[in-house]
Each structure stands twice: as C-alpha cells, then as structure tokens.
A = this chain, B = another copy of it.
C-alpha cells in the first residue's frame, strides 16, 4: 500500500462510479430504442472523454481521468481486467456443438463471411495505406492484414443478442447465423492472434514471429482439445466436492487469468487467452446454467459497461473524425460483409431473400471490431482517425443489423405479456365478489384502450366463462375471449385481496385476475399469454409478491424476469 494516496482513491472510485453510472443509463436508453446497449455504453465514454467533456471542462477531465500517474494505471488495470472477463463470457457463449449440428450451411456462411471481407480489406489497405489511416511507422503488410481482419470478424455476442430480441435465436435461420458467427469468431481470433504476433515485434526478427504464431496456435489447439477434455472432467468434481458455486466460479476466473497472462506473455493480447478458456469452459454441459448466469450478469452489467465506456476516453472523436475515411470504411466493410454472408448462404442453398437477411445479420461488427481497433491503436499500427472510423463502422453495422433483418424476414414480433399490459389496465382493488362482477370491472377498464364497446367485450368474456370457468389454481384466474375487430391484444389485471371463486381445480380463491382479450385472427396469442402467465406462477413466491404490490410499477417489477432466459 501507500502507492495510492487517499486522493487517488477518491478519484478512482468517483471516476469508476461516473463511468459505470452514465454507461448503464445510456445503455438503457439504447435498449429502449431497440439497439444493443453497447452503443449507449460507448456513447457514455464519448461524452465523458476528450470529445465532449474535454471540450467543455478540460480541467474536470484531467481530474477525473488523468492520462498519467497512479489513477491512469488504476483505470487501465480495472478496464483490462474487465475486458479479460468480458472475453471469458463471450467465449462461454460459443457452443462448438452448434457448428456440428448445423452442418455445412453454417460453415459455408462462416467461411465466405471471413474470406471475402478479408480479401477485399487486404487489397484496399495494401494499395491505399495512407488513405486508410496507416500509422506512418507501421509495416504496410501488418497494417493491411490488420485492416483485413477488422473487416472480417463478426461480433458474436451482438449477433446472438439481436437474434434473441427478435425471437429468431432458436429458428433455423438463427442457427445458421449463429453457427456461422461462431466459426467466424474462432477463425477470426486465430488469424488476429497471428497478426498480433506480427504487430508486437520488430520487422527483422522473423524467428520470434514464428515462435509467437506457433505458440498461439498450439495454445488454441491444446485448450480446445486437451484443455476442454480436462475441464469437462474437473467441473463435476468441483461441483460435487467443493462449496457450490464458489469452486466453479473461482476455477473459471483463475483459469481465465492464467490463460490471459499466458497469451499476453507469448506476445498476443491477454483477451485471446481468456476467450479460448471461455470457449473450453462454456462448452461443458457440466457448467450449470446458474453459475453461467452469475458470471455473465456480473461481467456484462458491471465490467463490460466500464470497458466500453473506457474506450471513449481514449480518443477525441471530433478532431479525429475523417468523413472520407468513415464513409470509405463503412462502404467497404458493409458491402464485403454483406456479399460474404450472401454468397455463403446461397452456396449453402439458402433462398435469396433469407440470404440477404443472413448477410445483414453477419454484418454486426459491434464489440469485436472496436476491441481490435483499440489493440491496433495501442500497438501503433493505425492512426486515431482510422480508430474513430472503425468504431463508427462497428456502431453503424450493429445498429443496422436488427432493423434490416426484421425488414426482410418480417418475423412475428414475440408477444410479451408486458407489452399488452399498461397502468390503465391495472385495477389494484377489485370491488367484485363474483367472477361476473370482476369481469365487468375489468372489461370496463379495457373498453377505452380497445376502442370498443364495453358491454360487447363483457358479453364475449362471460359467454366463454359460462362454458368453462377459468380459475387455473394457485390463486389465479384467466378470463379471456377472442374479439372480432380488436386491433391488438390487451391484458387487464385485477387484484382482489379477499379473493373470488373462479372454481379453480385446487379450490383456491383467485386473487389475481388476468383478463386476456386477443384479436380473433391472431390464433396463437391467447395460448401464448396463458402459458406466460402460468409460467410466472411456477415461482411459489409470486402470488405473495403481487399481492404486496401497491402500484402498477411494483406489479411490473414483481413479474419481471430475465429476458430471453
């Protein structure tokens, strides 16, 4: 101790707090706008860094995020650890078996979505190094290779997230894209590791380069075969005989740190090691879902925002903004990636329209392109203006991906209970004592948002209720009806503290009454809501929590669970 003064400590804690807080807030805003949260997190760094804060209050910037001294080191230590753990999680999402299951189409898409952008990127960067932002001191070949890789690599975590958001993750389309992205990821990182080896050394020392490259490939091969096998043997042992989940968590983190230290030591970057450790660990079915989520949540929601916001601190995005370069990178990257994805998909026998969607889905460059750019910037291979262009390219392609796939495939939007509810449809204290009275109160609340006659709605629901009562047990009732001419599904919720007898199979009174109105032509909506509601009450504490809720916000808070899990 004693290396950091109390003043250093204050600055460190404050700067991390501000970075995390702003990144999370803007991440949420991005989510609201149906964009990946990473966009908001990057923007947080741009606001807090030299681009904005540095212009408005340079002294404050220098105080919070100094470029030198103990605080600079501390921030770098924390963001480096963050990225090491983030790549561990990114690696854990890679499911090698998906590639085998999906078979050839995925491999073809994966291959051509690497080869085409790599080839085009390499040619452009090799012919026009100056225009593309090569750092004057760097080797033109290394620069061209880096540029090619930066265009070739896709962002698996973002692609997975986008597909999940659209409910396409488990579809055939989703599996083709994911397996291609996994293939792309692994090959891309291997190629990149080789290039990192080239970046790190002086041009003459070719023995050293060969050494680094062969060590890197050996490391990847060993960890994906022997290492994976060992981990698969060790995990059940840890789960059986150590404190759970301490043993597994500690093991994963320790292994990631060692892997990272090793790859950093052989001359490629630390993240390479933790990524492959993540692949090897995540691939074992012995890793429990719950352990996986503990690591994933903590890392994705605390470490990752810190890292991505930290990127914006490094560069002034205004002074290094070069319109020509930004547009050029964007065009080359999008066209080559789109072409790569499409060619692969058509080659694999995918229909033309879907092939376009594959192309756009693979086009997400998000996180990975930025990480690559940052390493190249630090290694002195590229100029800041290319870094800025790469970050913008990563952002734009990630933003385009979801909307374009949606436009082409027009997937049915996943119906979620939450979208059908609203505070106007929430009746905290039902006066009703009979099912008919409850239905009356609730249909009254729905009449206006439905834009329909309340009596008509009430009659439809009552007719249904007369046919078969809708108490489903555990204190819940689900009166419902299909309504002709209804524009969108509507769910009203009534709470009755005293309970209403909806004739449930378990003879319990209903305290929570969901009134579900769905358009007649939307066949599956009713069933989907019913199963989502039934799923909620699998949790034995749910009823109690809902009865405790005083406001609609409390209610929503209680039914909220992890999206997509």
Contact = CB atoms under 8 A, between A and B. Distances in A.
A301 B244 CA distance: 10
Contacts of A295: 298
Contacts of A4: 73, 76-77, 80
B301 A257 contact: no
Contacts of A12: 77, 80
Given A13-B84, A20-B257, A237-B553, A28 B247 contact: yes
A78 B77 contact: yes
A563 interface: yes
A412 interface: no
29 contacts: A1-B378, A2-B378, A3-B76, A4-B77, A10-B265, A12-B80, A13-B260, A14-B257, A14-B261, A16-B81, A17-B257, A27-B250, A28-B243, A28-B247, A37-B246, A73-B74, A239-B558, A241-B553, A243-B563, A244-B562, A244-B563, A246-B300, A249-B298, A249-B301, A249-B302, A250-B301, A294-B294, A294-B297, A294-B298
A109 B302 CA distance: 39
A contact patch SS: helix
A19 to B, nearest CB: 9
A131 B563 CA distance: 61
A97 interface: no
A537 interface: no
A254 interface: yes
A17 B277 CA distance: 13
A1 B557 CA distance: 41
Given A80-B9, A563-B243, A250 B73 contact: no
Interface residues of A, number: 82
Contacts of A474: none
Contacts of A270: 9, 13
Contacts of A553: 236-237, 240-241
Given A13-B261, A237-B557, 18 more contacts: A2-B378, A9-B80, A10-B265, A13-B258, A16-B257, A17-B257, A28-B246, A37-B243, A77-B78, A236-B553, A236-B554, A236-B556, A236-B558, A249-B302, A250-B301, A250-B305, A286-B554, A286-B557
A285 B27 CA distance: 26
B254 A20 contact: yes
Nearest to A302: B253
Nearest to A25: B250
Per CB-CB distance, the 10 closest pairs between chain A and chain B, nearest first, are: A17-B257, A239-B557, A240-B556, A74-B77, A24-B250, A13-B261, A236-B557, A298-B298, A21-B254, A246-B301
* Of A244, A250, A300, A305, most B-chain CB atoms within 10 Å: A250
A561 interface: yes
Contacts of A9: 80, 264, 270
* Of A3, A31, A81, A245, most B-chain CB atoms within 10 Å: A3
A193 B31 CA distance: 41
Contact of A258 (B2, B14, B80, B241): B14
Contacts of A21: 250, 254, 258
A378 B84 CA distance: 31
A425 interface: no
Interface in A281-302: 285-286, 293-295, 297-298, 300-302
Contacts of A84: 13
A245 B77 contact: no
Contact of A77 (B31, B73, B548, B554): B73
A548 B13 CA distance: 47
Contacts of A264: 6, 9-10, 13
A315 to B, nearest CB: 11
A94 interface: no
Interface in A531-565: 548, 551, 553-558, 560-563
